[in-house]
Each structure stands twice: as C-alpha cells, then as structure tokens.
Amino acid sequence: MKICFVGCGNIAQAIIDGLLKSGIATSNIACVERNEKRAKLLRAQCLQIIELEKISLIDFNLIILAVKPKDALSAEKNIFKLAPNATILTVVAGISIKKYSQPDAIIRAMPNTACAFRKGITGIYAKDQNCTAFKNAVSLFRKVGHVLELKSENEMHRFTSIIGSGQAFLYQVLNIYLQELEKILPNQETDIKLIFEDFVGSLGDAFSQEQNFESLINKIKSPGGTTQAGLESLEMNGLSKILLEAFEAAEDRSMKISNEQ
C-alpha cells in the first residue's frame, strides 16, 4: 500500500514511526511537509519528501491529511484539485466530513500518539464503510494499534476527548506524581525518570494481568490504611467530576471547532 502524508508533525510522525516498526518500507511512504525542520527529521528517516504538486504523479492508495484544523480545508482543496480521484483520510480534529469539498472521498480517523509504539487507538468513520479505501485505512491503522470503527460521525467528538485529548490528561496527572517524587529525592544519583518509567509501565502490566481497576485498587488498599485515606480525599474533592468535566470541555471544543470552519 502506498500512502502520502500531507503535514508531517506530531501525529503523522507517530503513525509513521509505528508503520516503520510494523515493517512497512520507507519507499511506500511519501511526505508533503512545508516546515523545513520537520522535513529534515523525515529525510533522516530516509523518507521521501515530495512537493504537493507531484501528488498526482504517484498512485497513492491513501492520502493522509495531518495538518492543524486552520490549514485543513485549503490543503484538502489543493489535493483534490491535483488528484480529483484521491481518497483523503483526515486525522484533523473537529472538522466534519460535510465541510470538505468532496465529502464522499473523505475518511475521518482520530488516532493517538501511542501509534508510535504500535499501541495506538484509532477511531475511524466514513459514510461508506464497505469501500476499498475504508478497508485499506482500517488495515493500515491496525498495523499501529487498535481500530474502532465508529457507527456515527458524532461519536468522534467523545472519542477524541477520551482517547485523543484524554491521553494528555493522564500525562498531566502523572506529571504531578513525578514532581512530588522529585521533591523527596532532590539530589539523588539515581535517575528518577528511569524509575518513573517503570512505575508508569507497571500500571499497564498490572492491567494486562487483571483487567479490573476495582480489584487492582483492592490489592493496594487496606481498611483504615494510607491508600484508603487518599482515595477518600480524591472522592471528597470530586475526582470523577473533574475528569468528566475535562472530557466534556474537550468534546465541546471539538464540536465548536467543527462549527467554526
């Protein structure tokens, strides 16, 4: 399968890293990237940088649009002008399919940066989910993690808030842990970040053994103990409310971006 990324920043890079780890040859990936710093990094990975004008010269199975929302609609118009029969898979948050100039040739996907480690979770939607391009897209994203085929485009907003943005909410929480750990071990020879890597990694290991957070918590907590005291404090301060409101804020923003375009 030959694919071309238009816009090769954070998310495209994560998908590319995952695809290369899955064994896809660099010769099957082309990149259109206007940012020279980014382009240099891509060249260092032996990836081919092409001018947008050359996009119709190669028969790409998919063109993946991965630019910021403000750049998306002008970029897609240019792509369709040059390659009217292309199918564009857009990972741009918040812009609904009907806003694109050729909605029937658009597939929407919402991957996360875990694609780089082939542990991504990608929500994907298109009007026609039986066409070859949609099947190609699903199989491509399966190479870099899990794929959830969404039944309606509206589900994309909530999915974005939990899996896309939500990953950053967990990083924010874990950063508080790291800062507290650094406070009690200020001048340690040991690399705290390496210790923390195991701490974070072990959470996934534990979940893979026992896929139930309540029972994982019960293994740590004892009645009247330290964990229980902390958990009660979290509950009293409304942890669930705080997180649910963060999901809602991200979901609302996703809907607003979609109306702004």
Ligand X SMILES: NC(=O)c1ccc[n+]([C@@H]2O[C@H](COP(=O)([O-])OP(=O)(O)OC[C@H]3O[C@@H](n4cnc5c(N)ncnc54)[C@H](OP(=O)(O)O)[C@@H]3O)[C@@H](O)[C@H]2O)c1
Which residues are registered as beta bridge partners of 3? 29, 62
CB of 158 to ligand X, least distance (A): 14
In angstroms, rounded to a whole number, what is the distance separating the alpha carbons of residues 209 and 206? Answer: 5
And the tokens for 188? 């340690």
Per-residue string for binding with ligand X, 150-179, x by CB under 6 A? Answer: --------------x---------------
Pick the closest to residue 247 from 175, 166, 180, 167 (CA basis).
166
In angstroms, rounded to a whole number, what is the distance separating the alpha carbons of residues 95 and 47? Answer: 28
Scanning 8-16, 40-48, 79-87, 171-179 for contacts with ligand X by CB under 6 A, the matching segment is: 8-16
Query: Any residues with CB less than 8 A from the CB of 78 and at least 6 apart, and which?
Result: 52
Q: Give the one residue of 91, 124, 150, 156 binding ligand X; rule: CB under 6 A.
A: 91
Question: Any idea what DSSP says for residue 115?
Answer: G
The 3-state DSSP class for residue 252 equals helix
16 binding ligand X? (CB under 6 A) = no
CB of 113 to ligand X, least distance (A): 5
Please, which residue, 87 or 90, has the CB nearer to ligand X? 90
And the tokens for 85? 């029969």
Please, which residue, 31 or 105, has the CB nearer to ligand X? 31
Residues 118-137 that bind ligand X (CB under 6 A): none
Contact predicate 242/173, CB 8 Å: no
Q: Give the one residue of 3, 4, 6, 47 binding ligand X; rule: CB under 6 A.
A: 6
And the tokens for 63? 């063109």
Scanning 60-68, 140-148, 185-193, 213-221 for contacts with ligand X by CB under 6 A, the matching segment is: 60-68
CB of 27 to ligand X, least distance (A): 20
Site of interaction with ligand X (CB under 6 A): 6-7, 9-12, 32-35, 38, 66-69, 71, 75, 91-93, 110-113, 164
